[in-house]
């Protein structure tokens, strides 16, 4: 294994451990001896689906971080680090809850209104494989613009999930964390929209 890959593996493991520890500490701060809130299907489904959703954002950020313009490169690095941190946190929840790290069925079934015909639904905001392949082949302003377009759509889709979890999750810390994620993704979307406008490009439909 190369030093670079070994370092990335160590970082991923460290994030999982940090996430598990943080989740244990934060979920356990009840002020008395009561058991922290038991996770429900929303808590578990949100964590599982959001890990998958975040992993694609990490992939897109890693695709452009060495070739994009400096402003977009800085944004991509920030997104990669933020999403990896949140992945570690949510994987920590799942480990503490002794829940599977990945969903066993179709995505989004934990969200109100998404259980019917769930097998035909996709996670909101995900890029297709063709779009990811196209992103990897672009350069210059076209690369910057397409990355921003894909990531804006990705964040907007993710906010549908964070908003639902902030409303419906059973564990207070999950609700609070989802609210924080919603705010952060709105802020990043505003930044990306400004960069995209400066390139004279419009968001994707």
- For residue range 39-84, what is the model confidence (pLDDT) as tens digits? 999 999 999 999 999 999 999 999 999 999 999 999 999 999 999 9
Q: Count how many Cα atoms sit within 13 Å of the Cα of residue 174 in the half-sphere of its side chain.
A: 28
Per-residue confidence (pLDDT) for residue 118, from 0 to 100 = 44
Give the N- to C-terminal CA distance of the chain in Å, as an integer.
42
Mean confidence (pLDDT) of the chain = 85
CA-CA distance, 49 to 146, in Å (whole number)? 24
Distance CA 171, CA 98 (A): 15
Q: Report whether 171 contacts 37 (CB < 8 A).
A: yes
Judge contact between 115 and 105, C-beta under 8 A.
Answer: no
CA–CA gap between residue 75 and residue 151 (Å, rounded): 11
What is the per-residue burial (b if ≥16 Cβ within 10 Å, else e) of 30-42?
Answer: eeeeeebbebeeb
Round to whole Å and give the CA distance between 45 and 172.
15
pTM of the model: 0.81
pLDDT at 190 > cutoff 70? yes
Percent share of the chain, pLDDT over 90: 73
**pLDDT value, residue 166:** 97
Residues 27, 38: Cα–Cα separation, whole Å? 10
d(CA 132, CA 93): 29
Whether the predicted pLDDT of 130 surpasses 90: yes
Whether the predicted pLDDT of 20 surpasses 50: no
pLDDT in tens, 86-113: 999 999 999 999 999 998 889 999 997 6
pLDDT at 117: 38
Is 2 a residue whose pLDDT tops 80?
no
Structural fold of domain 3-198: Ferritin (1.20.1260)
Q: Residue 33: its pLDDT value, please?
A: 32
Domain ranges of the chain: 3-198
Lowest mean pLDDT among 118-122, 137-141, 194-198: 118-122
pLDDT of residue 26: 47
Confidence label for 167 from pLDDT (cuts 50, 70 and 90): very high
């Amino acid at each position: 294994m190369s030093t670079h890959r070994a370092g990335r593996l160590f970082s991923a493991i460290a994030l999982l451990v940090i996430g598990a520890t943080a989740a244990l500490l934060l979920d356990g701060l009840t002020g008395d001896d009561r058991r922290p809130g038991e996770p429900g299907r929303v808590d578990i489904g949100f964590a599982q689906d959001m890990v998958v959703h975040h992993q694609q954002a990490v992939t897109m950020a890693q695709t452009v971080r060495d070739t994009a313009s400096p402003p977009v490169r800085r944004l991509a690095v920030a997104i990669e680090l933020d999403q990896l941190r949140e992945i570690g946190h949510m994987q920590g929840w799942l480990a503490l809850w002794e829940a599977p790290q990945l969903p066993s069925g179709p995505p989004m079934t934990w969200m109100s209104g998404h259980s019917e015909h769930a097998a035909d639904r996709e996670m909101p905001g995900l890029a297709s494989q063709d779009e990811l392949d196209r992103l990897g082949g672009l350069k210059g302003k076209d690369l910057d613009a397409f990355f921003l377009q894909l990531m804006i759509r990705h964040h907007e889709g993710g906010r549908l999930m964070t908003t639902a979890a902030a409303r419906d999750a059973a564990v207070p810390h999950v609700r609070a964390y989802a609210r924080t994620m919603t705010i952060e993704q709105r802020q990043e979307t505003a930044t990306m929209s400004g960069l995209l406008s400066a390139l004279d490009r419009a968001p994707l439909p």
